[in-house]
A and B are shown apart, each in its own frame.
Chain A
Amino acid sequence: MSAVDLMLLSIAIPFVGAVLILSFGSVRIAGGHVREWLSVITSIALLLTVLPLLEKFMQGASIDYRMVEPIPGIWLHLSIEPLGMMFACIASLLWVVNTIYSIGYMRSNNEKNQTRFYVCFAIAIGSTLGLAFSANLLTLFIFYELLSISTYPLVAHKGNELAKKGARTYLAILMGSSIGFLLLAIIWTWSLAGTLDFRAGGILSEHIGEPVIGILLFLFIYGIGKAALMPLHKWLPAAMVAPTPVSALLHAVAVVKAGVFTVLKVIIYIFGPATLADSLAADWIMYLAGFSIVLASTIALFQDNLKRRLAYSTISQLSYVTIAAILVAPFSIMAAALHIAVHAFGKITLFFAAGSIYTATHKTEISQLKGIGRQMPWTMGAFAIGALSMIGIPPAAGFLSKWYLLMGTFQTQEWFVFGVIIISTLLNAAYFLPILYTAFIEKADDPIAQGTMQEAPLPIVIALTITAGLTLLLFFLPDIPLQLINGLPGVKS
C-alpha cells in the first residue's frame, strides 16, 4: 500500500468506525456492547495504519494528495510534514489506550448514551488526524471546526443543566473565536498572499509589513481558541463537566494540542520565523503568553476540584508551546514541538488518575484525597509520574521540553521567558506536590478505608499504567519525536 493510501486510510478509519458504531453499536454481545469492540478495533486499526505511515515518512516518502477544489485556487489538500506526523502518532497511540480506559470508565459509572459517546469520539479523532495532515489553512480550518462540533456532544454528554451550560461556554468560545477571528485571518491571508499553503519560510513575508503583521498575528493567535491563551481559556475548565475519558484524550491531548499545533503551523509555515523575529506584535504575544502561564498556574493553586486544577495546569502548559513558538529560535521551536508530545503523555496520565479516583471512590476534590495513595497505589503512582513530568523533573519526559525551551531563551536572550519558566516551574511544584503529600503522607479520615486496596477496574489501571510508562519511556528514548522535529524548517539552521 502506498504512503498516500495509508494517509487517506488513517483519516477514513475513524469516520468509518463512527458509522459502524452508530449502526450496530447498541447491539449486545457476550461481554458488553458491540460499540466497545468496534471502538477498540477501530483504534487499533488506526494505530496499525499510522505506524507504517510513520515508517514510510521517515524513509523520506513525499506524501501529498489533492481531493477537490471547493474554492478556485484552494484545494482540499493533504500532505504530511514532521509536526503533523508526530501529532498523528500521539493521537492514534493514545486513542488505543484511551479506548480501553473509556470502556472501564463508562461501564463502571453507568453512563447513558454510550453509543453517541463512542461515535463522537471516533469523529473527533478522525478530525484530529485530518487536521494533522492538512496541507493548507482551509483544509485545516475544516477539520478544526469539525473537531469543535464533534466534541460538543461529548462535553454536553450528561445532558443536565450544568453540562449544557459548560458545553455552551465551550462551543461559544471555540466557535466564536474561530469564526470571528480565525476565518477572518484566513480569508485575509488569502486575499494578501493568493495562497493558503503551508510552506517552509511562510507565505506572508513578501506581502505584508507592520501593522498588518501584528493584526493578523493577533487574529490568528486569538482565533485559535483551542490553544486556550488567556483570556480565551474559559472553555477548558468548562469542558471538565465531560466524562473523564473525554477530558483525558480530548481536552488534554487532541483538542488542545490541535490548538497549539495550529499555532505552531501558522508561525512556522504561514508567517515564517524570519517575518516574526523582529515583529513587535510577536513580543506582545510573548508577554501575553507569559502572563497566561503564570496566571493560570496561580489560579490552579486555588482549585480544590482535581479536574479543574488539571485544566488550569493545561492552560498554563499550552502557553508554553505558544511562547516557545513565538520565540522562533531553533531550540525554542524544537521545545514547542516536543512539548506537544511530552505534555500529552503526562497530562493524559493525570486525567486518567483523576477519573480512576472518581470511579473507585466518587471523590472529585483534592481535600478528600487523604491517604488515597495507599488505597490506590497504581493510580497514585501514575499520578506522581505525571506530576513530575509537569514540573519537569527527570526521569519524566517533561524535563526534556523544558530543557530545550530554556536553551531557546539563551539563544534569543529573552530573559522574560526564562523568568516565566522558572516561576511557573515553582508554581507547578506548588500545586502538584501538595496533592502527592495529601495522597501518600496524610492519613485517611476514615480508619476502615486506611490501608485497604481499593483500585479502580482493571481496564482503567492498565490504561494509566501504560501512559505513565510512556511518560518515562519518552525521557529515555526521545529519538523518534526528536528525529521528526529535526526535520522542521527553522530547527535545522
Chain B
Amino acid sequence: MISNHLPVLQVVLPLLAAPLCVLLKRSSLLWAFTLLVSILSAVIAWSLLQQTDAGIISYAIGGWAAPWGIEYRVDKLNAYVLLIVTGIGSLVMLGGRKSIEQEIDSKNLSLFYTAYLLCFAGLLGITITGDAFNVFVFLEISSLSSYALISLGRDRRALTAAYQYLVMGTIGATFILIGIGMMYMITGTLNMHDLAQRLPEAGSSRTMLTAFAFMFVGVSLKLALFPLHLWLPNAYAYAPSIVSAFLAGTATKVAVYVLLRFIFTIFGIEYAFTELPLSAILMLLAIAAILLATMSAIYESNMKRLFAYSSVAQLGYMVLGISFLSVTGLTSSLLHLFNHALMKAALFMALACVMYQQGGVMMDNLKGLGRRMPWTFAAIVIGGLSLVGVPLTVGFISKWYLLLAAIEAGQFVLVAVVLAGSLLALIYVWKLVEQGYFHSGNESITRQEAPLSMLIPTWLLVLANIYFGIDTSLTISVAQTTAEQLLGVTQ
C-alpha cells in the first residue's frame, strides 16, 4: 500500500515536516526530527531505486492522470540522484548538530531547520517530478530556502554572498521559466514525457532554439558551469559549515541531473547534438572550468573557497563526460555525480570540524593540524587524494572512465586536460598536507580533536570514498544502465 505512494512521500514528507520545525523549540529535538526525516527519505529513495529495476514508475499526483495532473516519473537516473541527495543529507545532518548550534543564533534555529528541510524537499522535488513546470516550482523552493540558509552564516559576508546568489539564481530560474514557457508554446504540454514525444515532431524552429538557449543558460547558472560559476565560491565559503557540506554534495548534482534530463530526455540527442553544436560548447566550457577553476583553487587561502573552486572544476569533469556522447563518457559523468558528492560532503564535513574547533578555515588554521586534529586532518587528506584521483578512492574510478572515454573518442587533447587537472589538484591538496603535517612551528601543540558526533559521520563519508572506490558494483552498474538508457542504446 505505502510502497505505491513512495514517489509522492519522497517529497511530501520533508515538505510537511519543514513547517513543523517552527513548533519545536529545543535544539536537540529539532535536530533529531530533521535527522529522522532525512533518514526516512533516504530509505524511501533506496526502495525507489530497487523498484526501478522492474521498470519506470509513474505516479499521478492526487490521482489526476497526466497530462492534466502532475506526474512523478522515476527511472534509474532520478532514483540514483534521489539516493545521492538523501544519503548525503542524512550523513551531513547526522554530524551537524554541534556545528549548527555553534554557528547559528539560537533564536534562528527553528527557522534554520525549516529552511533546511524546505531546501531538501525542493531538491528532491526537482529530481522526482516528470513535469517541466513542476521543476521550476521546486527549483524556486530549493533556491529561496538556500538563499536563507546561506545568509544565516556567522560571517557578515554571508549576506552579500547570499544576495549575489539570489540575483544569479533568480536570473537562472527566470531563464528556465522562459524556456519552459516556450516549450509549452510549441507543444501545448508541460509533461516531460509528452514533451519528449512532441518536440521532435514539431521540428526545429526559432522558438525551439530560443527555448533551448534559455533552458541551457538557466540550468548552467544553477550548475555553476564556467563562466557562470561566480556565485558559488562565496556562497559555499560564507554559508554555515553544514550548509556548505549539504549544498556541495547535493545542489549542483541536482542541477546536473536537470541538464541531463532536458538535453537527453526532452530535447533529444538528435536536436541537441546534431542540429546544435552542443558537444563542442560543453567541451570548451568544461576545459575552461577544469583548468581555470583548479588554478584559482591553488591560489586560494580560504579552504572553503578552495574546495568550492575545486567543485567548479569537478563539475567540468562531469560536463566533459557528457560532451563525448558515448556510453563510457556518460557513465563517467554519472559516476562522478555520485563520487564527487561523497568527496565534497566528506571534505566540507571535515572543514565543519575544523571550523568548530579552530573558529576558521584559513590556511593559517591548518598549521600543525595533523597533530591537533589527527582524525579530521586525515579525513581532509583522504578526501583530497580522492579529488586528485588516487587509486582506491572513488576519484580514481571516475577518472578512469573519463580518460577511457576520451581515449575511445581519440581526443588526446582532452586526455591531457584531464590529466593536467588532476596534477593541478595534487598541488592544492599538497599545500594542505604540508601545512598540516610538516609545519615547523615551535608552539606547543595540544590535541583538540572534534567531537565524536561530528567525526563519525565525517569518517563514514571518508570510508564511503574508499569503499566505493573498491567495490563499484552498485555505482558502475547503475551509472552504466542509466547511460545506456539516456543514449537509447539497447542492451
Residues of A within 8 A of B (CB): 68-72, 76, 138, 141-142, 145-146, 149, 153, 156, 159-161, 163-164, 167-168, 171-172, 175-176, 179-180, 183-184, 187-188, 190-191
Minimum CB–CB distance for A319 against chain B, Å: 25
Contact residues in B for A179 (Cβ distance below 8 Å): 388-389, 419, 422-423, 426
**Docked pose: A87 CA to B407 CA in angstroms:** 33
Within 8 A of A (CB), among B341-365: none
Known: A138-B391, A156-B438, A184-B403. 6 other contacts (CB 8 A): A72-B476, A76-B470, A156-B434, A171-B430, A179-B422, A180-B423
Q: What are some 24 contacts across the A-B interface (CB < 8 A)?
A: A70-B469, A141-B391, A145-B390, A146-B391, A146-B392, A149-B390, A153-B438, A156-B437, A156-B438, A161-B440, A163-B438, A164-B434, A167-B438, A168-B434, A172-B426, A175-B426, A179-B419, A179-B422, A180-B423, A183-B399, A183-B403, A184-B419, A187-B400, A191-B407
Within 8 A of A (CB), among B391-427: 391-392, 397, 399-400, 403-404, 407-408, 415, 419-420, 422-423, 426
Minimum CB–CB distance for A317 against chain B, Å: 29
Cβ-based interface call for B155 (8 A): no
Closest to A67 in B: B470
Minimum CB–CB distance for B459 against chain A, Å: 16
Minimum CB–CB distance for B269 against chain A, Å: 23
Cβ-based interface call for B385 (8 A): yes
Contact residues in A for B426 (Cβ distance below 8 Å): 171-172, 175-176, 179
Cβ-based interface call for B301 (8 A): no
The 9 closest A-B CB pairs, nearest first, are A142-B391, A159-B438, A159-B440, A187-B403, A156-B438, A191-B407, A180-B419, A179-B422, A70-B470
**Docked pose: A191 CA to B412 CA in angstroms:** 14
Cβ-based interface call for B439 (8 A): yes
Contact residues in B for A69 (Cβ distance below 8 Å): 472-473
Main secondary structure of the interface of A (DSSP, over half): helix
Contact residues in B for A190 (Cβ distance below 8 Å): 404
**Docked pose: A161 CA to B476 CA in angstroms:** 44
**Docked pose: A128 CA to B280 CA in angstroms:** 44
**Docked pose: A171 CA to B470 CA in angstroms:** 24
Contact with A along B194-233 (1 / 0, CB 8 A): 0000000000000000000000000000000000000000
**Docked pose: A68 CA to B473 CA in angstroms:** 10
**A164-B400 in contact given A68-B471, A149-B390, A191-B407 (Cβ < 8 Å):** no
**Docked pose: A146 CA to B392 CA in angstroms:** 9
**Docked pose: A23 CA to B434 CA in angstroms:** 23
User: Which listed residue, A76, A149, A188, touches B407 by the CB 8 Å rule?
Assistant: A188
Within 8 A of A (CB), among B418-475: 419-420, 422-423, 426, 430, 434, 437-440, 469-473
Within 8 A of A (CB), among B96-125: none
Residues of B within 8 A of A (CB): 385, 388-392, 397, 399-400, 403-404, 407-408, 415, 419-420, 422-423, 426, 430, 434, 437-440, 469-473, 476
User: Which listed residue, A70, A76, A141, touches B397 by the CB 8 Å rule?
Assistant: A70
Minimum CB–CB distance for A341 against chain B, Å: 28
**Docked pose: A71 CA to B394 CA in angstroms:** 11
Contact residues in B for A138 (Cβ distance below 8 Å): 391
Contact residues in B for A159 (Cβ distance below 8 Å): 438-440
Asked if B476 and A71 sit within 8 Å, CB to CB, the answer is yes
**Docked pose: A70 CA to B470 CA in angstroms:** 5
Closest to B381 in A: A149
**Docked pose: A172 CA to B388 CA in angstroms:** 13
**Docked pose: A160 CA to B442 CA in angstroms:** 12
Contact residues in B for A76 (Cβ distance below 8 Å): 470
Contact residues in A for B472 (Cβ distance below 8 Å): 69-71
**Docked pose: A281 CA to B200 CA in angstroms:** 52
Asked if A187 and B389 sit within 8 Å, CB to CB, the answer is no
Minimum CB–CB distance for B44 against chain A, Å: 29
**Docked pose: A148 CA to B236 CA in angstroms:** 33
Asked if A149 and B385 sit within 8 Å, CB to CB, the answer is yes
Closest to A175 in B: B426
Minimum CB–CB distance for A269 against chain B, Å: 20
**Docked pose: A179 CA to B426 CA in angstroms:** 10
Minimum CB–CB distance for A196 against chain B, Å: 11
Contact residues in B for A145 (Cβ distance below 8 Å): 390-391
User: Which listed residue, A142, A149, A153, touches B437 by the CB 8 Å rule?
Assistant: A153
Asked if A142 and B392 sit within 8 Å, CB to CB, the answer is yes
Contact residues in A for B437 (Cβ distance below 8 Å): 153, 156
**Docked pose: A138 CA to B403 CA in angstroms:** 14
**A68-B470 in contact given A159-B438, A176-B423, A184-B403 (Cβ < 8 Å):** yes
**A187-B404 in contact given A68-B471, A71-B476 (Cβ < 8 Å):** yes
Minimum CB–CB distance for A93 against chain B, Å: 28
Closest to B388 in A: A179
**Docked pose: A176 CA to B419 CA in angstroms:** 9
User: Which listed residue, A161, A164, A191, touches B408 by the CB 8 Å rule?
Assistant: A191
Contact residues in B for A188 (Cβ distance below 8 Å): 407
Contact residues in A for B473 (Cβ distance below 8 Å): 69
**Docked pose: A160 CA to B422 CA in angstroms:** 27
Closest to A116 in B: B437
Minimum CB–CB distance for B328 against chain A, Å: 9
Minimum CB–CB distance for B410 against chain A, Å: 10
Contact residues in B for A171 (Cβ distance below 8 Å): 426, 430
Closest to B370 in A: A116
Closest to B440 in A: A159
**Docked pose: A138 CA to B423 CA in angstroms:** 19
Contact residues in A for B434 (Cβ distance below 8 Å): 156, 164, 168
Contact residues in A for B403 (Cβ distance below 8 Å): 183-184, 187
